Structure 1
Amino acid sequence: MTLPELTAIYPPGTFLAPRLEDPSAKWVPSDLHAVEFMTANLIACAGGFPMLVHKAAMSPDGLELMERCGVNIGSAIETYETPDDYHNALMRRIEDGQTAVFVYPSSVQLPEKKAALVASDCLAHLNNKQNIAQLSGPENIPRRRTIDNGSRDQRDTLVAPIALKIATNEPNAGGLDVAICRRRRHIDRALSRFADAETLIAEELIEAVRNWCVQFAVTADGTVCEIGATEQICIRSGIHAGNLYAVDASPEENVLTIGRSIAEAGSKLGFRGLCGFDILLDRHGKAFVIDLNFRPVSSSAFLYEALRRSNLGTGARFARLAFCRSEGTLAQMIRRCDQGFRDGWIIPLATFEPEFGGLKGGTARMRLMIVADSLKVLHRREQSLAGCGVDFVHMPNRFEQLKHWFRNVI
């Protein structure tokens, strides 16, 4: 399967404006380094599509490593260093007649509507969890009800286990607006964390056997095409910690059918571009939509690269996306992991060197693809990477999966 290039998905004259501009956004990563690193999500599959990316993600050490590992870096990337630099670059392009592809709803005052490919109010509506039933069909979501967070009586009716979510038009990402509550104490913690939210969603907690992120593209004329799917790796609290791609695995037909219908619903409302939807499958084969991301997701470049290498005959049976960080500089992090890069089982999809980007403090970061021809070897390579002093969330092994299942059954 050959995926369409971004220049074929987005109309001519558009450019990616990926930065989260709202400094007061509560339901997305608040760490400045994380905010700036997210702008590099698509550099490994950008091709000739123009985009703004923070300078820290384009350091000489990082670019040399990606080229050495055979990753094709975007050819039309413009770097910026400060939020003001980003805003100036954004407005300069718009004044030159280009159209911005915003990843998050933008608070920038635009000179005219056509300055944005998708209007911010449309993005806000599509990504608000309160509207999932409208877009995917009420029969395709877990049982849920809305809670007025200002009402003590309504909050007291919450009973575990549930998934507690925030209904908001504000930017949201990374699972920071979701809490998996298996015990009453988890609900209490979530209510404390979500104290600033006006409306909550109390959703039936689905014990899933598969957790898919299915991705689609909505092209300029509104046509929907399938991009692919990976399984999601999440920690028990619900925070997303990576993805798993398997050559021989694909979502069940009902998952793909529902995903396509969601993309088509978004297309009718004016969405254009890459999008990805989180769909669970329970042990009875029933599919449940739990989150909609009408924007490029963190695994988009990972899926593109895995499929590209598979088409070239250089891919492995399994690939795992890991969000990694390490104390010290990026150069030091690269040296610690160098054998894995040389042996070809670690592939960098994005790197981040704070000092090069004018950011003080912080740690080096990388988005890495770990590849192997068996899950056993993949787990072993995760252990090797961790032994290099790299921090990331490991995939659960078979024993951990069984323990998790047994705990939930009891």
Structure 2
Amino acid sequence: MRRTLSQLPPLTLSGQETALCPENAAYMARTDLEQTRMLGYTPLNLDAVTTLLLGLLGARATVRHICGTTDEILGCLTEAGLSITEEIHRYETGAEAEVLAERLIAEGRKLFWPYPLRAGRFADEAHLVPPALWARLNSKTALPDLVPPEALAPRQSHVTGALPDDIPLPAFLKAGGEHATGWGYAVHHCATPAQVAQARTAFLAQSIDTVIVEAAIPLHRCWCVNLSVSPDTVQLLGAAEQTFSAPARQAGSVIDPDTPYPEAGHALALSVADAARRQGFLGICGLDIGQTDDGRLIVFDPNFRVNSSTPQILLHRAAAARSGLPVSLSFSGRTQGAMSRLIARIKGPIADGWFVPTRLLDAALLPAADGINLCTGFVMAETRAAAETRSRDLQTLIDT
């Protein structure tokens, strides 16, 4: 018998939200396209990113766009089991978001964000992590400062314009420097000299001065390992296996008890996060760690910020216990029409326990969405193959 939404047990975090960031931290993510130019951001992303982490931050203050925080949306997420008790400050324009941030700073709050805010807009002491420290920790160039050499792929750094044609292939070419990067936007997988030349041209067009050439080591699997960092301790939150549509192009995340992140790698992840803690980092971070065919663990990317897999990792255990389904697979769907129609479509999967929405975006309240509503979360299933089928079925359902 299908349960009604009101009958669903809540998805508790077992107190983990208290360890994600200090109590005086405030989530403020509204930045600009200059800071995110190496991410492929559009105006839509600038406001959509502010709707992350709903139900995961306890009573902390947040600055969020109205498109993801209507009473209708919050009601749906709450009925699905998310505990949304935060102090929400809603905005419609970027200027309004910055005014709200100023008020929170005046109250003694510290801003945290996945990508740097508008350059020079707020004083360093207004941030949970100073922008310069954030840039240094997230730089692919500085990864050897955090990771022991045995856990790194062979790499070299070159001036972009002098990047040689005869580098060992296959390789991943990654943007050097301290620009905010992510989503594979500033990474090129090269198997031929022609692809190297194309990557060089692309980096020069983006004004990237240095390029990291990293050996493309064959991997058995790759995970994003999430941790929380406090002034005195580092806590492992969990890990999600990454799925890829192409080399360096992540398609999603899966948590499957048949393919867990190796316990032998816990110490590695904790040591990298602790190295960042000693430099002053606080909050949530993620590390992309792959396992080679012979079992060696390699750290590929530093993500000293919230990750796309963070909500899934934090909610998976409770969702699995509630549904009796052990596997979760990330879901990102798009559909046109009224938000009420979208919510009506997903109520069945939510009530049946196999879909957990973590974010809904109402395109009617965000012109940059061009009429396309967003629905993200994760599906639950007995197996990975069944989860993939359910993900396709869910997209079909919301498009019906």
**Aligned mate of 2:154, from 143, 154, 163:** 143
Structure 1 contact 55–356 (Cα < 8 Å) conserved: yes
1:39 and 2:25 are equivalent in the alignment: no
Over 3 Å counting, the alpha-carbon distance change for 1:111 and 1:33 in structure 2 is closer
* Cα distance, 1:22 vs structure 2: 4.7
1:293 and 2:295 are equivalent in the alignment: no
The residue number in structure 1 matching 2:4 is none
1:73 and 2:84 are equivalent in the alignment: yes
1:121 and 2:132 are equivalent in the alignment: yes
Over 3 Å counting, the alpha-carbon distance change for 1:156 and 1:183 in structure 2 is closer
* 1:150-229 equivalent positions in 2, closer than 5 A: 150-151=161-162, 154-195=163-204, 196=206, 197-219=208-230, 221-229=231-239
Over 3 Å counting, the alpha-carbon distance change for 1:149 and 1:362 in structure 2 is farther
1:86 and 2:97 are equivalent in the alignment: yes
Over 3 Å counting, the alpha-carbon distance change for 1:107 and 1:375 in structure 2 is closer
TM-score normalised by the chain length of structure 2: 0.89
* 1:6-405 equivalent positions in 2, closer than 5 A: 6-23=17-34, 25-109=36-120, 113-151=124-162, 154-195=163-204, 196=206, 197-219=208-230, 221-247=231-257, 249-310=259-320, 312-357=321-366, 359=368, 361-388=370-397
* Cα distance, 1:268 vs structure 2: 0.7
TM-score normalised by the chain length of structure 1: 0.86
Give me the whole-angstrom Cα distance separating, in 2, the residues matched to 1:12 and 1:336: 36
After superposition, give the CA deviation of every residue in 1:180-228 in whole Å (9 maximum; x if it has no partner): 2234444344333322211111110122111111111111x23111111
* Cα distance, 1:360 vs structure 2: 6.0
Give me the whole-angstrom Cα distance separating, in 2, the residues matched to 1:148 and 1:254: 37
Over 3 Å counting, the alpha-carbon distance change for 1:173 and 1:328 in structure 2 is farther
Give me the whole-angstrom Cα distance separating, in 1, the residues matched to 2:248 and 2:82: 30
**Helix, strand or coil at the partner of 2:47:** helix
Q: Please say which of residues 180-189 and 320-329 is displaced more in the overlay.
A: 180-189
Structure 2 contact 140–176 (Cα < 8 Å) conserved: yes
Give me the whole-angstrom Cα distance separating, in 2, the residues matched to 1:314 and 1:52: 32
Structure 2 contact 225–289 (Cα < 8 Å) conserved: yes
Structure 2 contact 48–65 (Cα < 8 Å) conserved: yes
Q: What is the one-letter code of the residue matched to 1:117?
A: L
* Cα distance, 1:370 vs structure 2: 0.7
Over 3 Å counting, the alpha-carbon distance change for 1:71 and 1:248 in structure 2 is farther
Q: What is the one-letter code of the residue matched to 1:262?
A: V
After superposition, give the CA deviation of every residue in 1:384-410 in whole Å (9 maximum; x if it has no partner): 12433669xxxxxxxxxxxxxxxxxxx
Over 3 Å counting, the alpha-carbon distance change for 1:24 and 1:228 in structure 2 is closer
Q: What is the one-letter code of the residue matched to 1:351?
A: L
**Helix, strand or coil at the partner of 2:235:** strand
Structure 1 contact 44–305 (Cα < 8 Å) conserved: no
**Helix, strand or coil at the partner of 1:244:** strand
Give me the whole-angstrom Cα distance separating, in 1, the residues matched to 2:142 and 2:233: 22
The residue number in structure 2 matching 1:407 is none
Over 3 Å counting, the alpha-carbon distance change for 1:94 and 1:65 in structure 2 is same
Over 3 Å counting, the alpha-carbon distance change for 1:387 and 1:291 in structure 2 is same
**Helix, strand or coil at the partner of 1:231:** strand
Q: What is the one-letter code of the residue matched to 1:241?
A: A
**Helix, strand or coil at the partner of 2:82:** coil
Give me the whole-angstrom Cα distance separating, in 2, the residues matched to 1:369 and 1:315: 15
**Helix, strand or coil at the partner of 2:311:** helix
Structure 2 contact 24–60 (Cα < 8 Å) conserved: no
Give me the whole-angstrom Cα distance separating, in 2, the residues matched to 1:55 and 1:28: 23
Q: What is the one-letter code of the residue matched to 1:205?
A: A
Give me the whole-angstrom Cα distance separating, in 2, the residues matched to 1:149 and 1:199: 5
Over 3 Å counting, the alpha-carbon distance change for 1:192 and 1:109 in structure 2 is closer
**Helix, strand or coil at the partner of 2:391:** helix
Q: Which runs of 5+ in 1 are unaligned?
A: 392-410
Give me the whole-angstrom Cα distance separating, in 2, the residues matched to 1:390 and 1:239: 25
Name the Cα RMSD after superposition: 2.5
Structure 2 contact 55–86 (Cα < 8 Å) conserved: no
Q: What is the one-letter code of the residue matched to 1:157?
A: D
**Helix, strand or coil at the partner of 2:217:** coil
Q: What is the one-letter code of the residue matched to 1:370?
A: V
After superposition, give the CA deviation of every residue in 1:269-292 in whole Å (9 maximum; x if it has no partner): 100111010000011001111101
Q: Please say which of residues 201-210 and 104-113 is displaced more in the overlay.
A: 104-113
Structure 1 contact 7–49 (Cα < 8 Å) conserved: no
After superposition, give the CA deviation of every residue in 1:280-313 in whole Å (9 maximum; x if it has no partner): 0011001111101011111111111112334x54
After superposition, give the CA deviation of every residue in 1:244-278 in whole Å (9 maximum; x if it has no partner): 11245432134222111100100011001110100
**Helix, strand or coil at the partner of 2:397:** coil
Q: What is the one-letter code of the residue matched to 1:321?
A: S
**Helix, strand or coil at the partner of 2:178:** coil
Over 3 Å counting, the alpha-carbon distance change for 1:200 and 1:315 in structure 2 is farther
Q: What is the one-letter code of the residue matched to 1:79?
A: R
After superposition, give the CA deviation of every residue in 1:116-165 in whole Å (9 maximum; x if it has no partner): 221110000000000111111222111111121122xx242335311111
Structure 2 contact 333–395 (Cα < 8 Å) conserved: no
Give me the whole-angstrom Cα distance separating, in 2, the residues matched to 1:81 and 1:317: 39
Q: What is the one-letter code of the residue matched to 1:87?
A: E
